[in-house]
Amino acid sequence: MTAGSRLPLLLLLSLPAGAACAQSATPADYPNRVVRVIVPRGTGGLVDVVARLYAENLAGRIGQQVIIDNRPGAGGTIAGEAVTRAVPDGYTIFVSAQDTQVLTPILRKKPPYDPVRDFTHISLIFTTPLHIFVHPTVPAKSVQELVAIARANPGKLTYASLGVGSTQHLAAELFKSRLKLDIVHIPYKSTAQATIEQLAGQVDINFTAGITLFPHVDAGKLRAIASTGSKRSLARPKLPTVAESGVPGYEMEPWYGLSGPAGLPAPIVDRLNRENAEVLRSAPVRDRFRSDGLEARPTTPGEFTARIKAEIPLWTKIMREAGVPSQ
């Protein structure tokens, strides 16, 4: 081997490991092996169910297997950190969320990553309101009745969330702040775990997207009293919003998107952005979203990144006004 032929190899070996792998990626051939989708939620919840349907339809479009890797806990940052450590070659992508990219990083005194710089944001996928569920031992049938019970029993009622900084946590804390309530926070790793505990009567209130909880409502094991969006839930249009229930201006409508590690090559970003839009237009996904009360929201990478950047100062202000402490 001549000195000239060794030079490219020496340059490649001098690169950081991740950069070397990214350089060896061939976007023109992408994808030519299994694609992993990291999901910041546990199995069985709404996001997991939707992610699996999404992955199945994405696999059909790209001609490769797409597998789900559930990484629940810590307000989604366990999943987020895993993504930031992945090689930026398009074979590890991420169902990013409002809590993983906005809420939890704001609440952490030492955030585990930068929500913009450490990721490549590809497209928004969907938005969904949360729903407020109560255990039958709490005799509230409306928001106002729940408020009255909470005020009469300060520190007695409990609510579930998916961890500090999760959308469920912030939805409940904003509710408490607006209404000056004392309700105790109990964090869980997954929606399934929180649901099991609530059905057993171990937790009183659950702020969650909740489509998987509605069968329990229909069976009389839980009661849904309101949704948290700006308009009524497509899944349960007869259910009033929190704002309609006497808390003007209250709104919490979490979003979920498609992201990857920082440095994802532009051709791969463009391919995934196009495929995302097509998957969201496909009949199976469109029909499932409609039945689950989800609104498909495909965007350009620039629009998605701009949304995240705009929400960080907005939610920082909201959290400070609500008195939510840093962790």
pLDDT tens profile 250-280: 989 999 999 999 999 999 999 999 999 999 9
Beta bridge pairs of residue 126: 256, 296
Q: 296 vs 257, 281, 290, CA distance in Å? A: 10, 9, 9
Strand-pair category, 131-134 with 205-208: antiparallel
Centre a 10 Å sphere on the Cβ of residue 25 and count the other Cβ atoms it contains: 18
Percent of the chain whose pLDDT exceeds 90: 70
121 in Cβ contact with 272 (< 8 Å): no
pLDDT digits (tens, 9 = 90+) for 8-43: 444 434 444 444 444 445 688 999 999 999 999 999
Q: What does R_g of the chain's alpha carbons equal in angstroms?
A: 21
pLDDT digits (tens, 9 = 90+) for 204-257: 999 998 778 999 999 999 999 999 998 898 888 999 999 999 999 898 999 999
Of 20, 11, 41, 13, nearest to 263 (Cα)?
20
pLDDT value at residue 240 = 97
Q: What structural domains and CATH numbers belong to the chain?
A: 14-128+254-322 (3.40.190.150), 131-227 (3.40.190.10)
Please, which residues have CB within 8 angstroms of residue 116's CB and are 6 or more apart in sequence? 101, 305, 308, 309
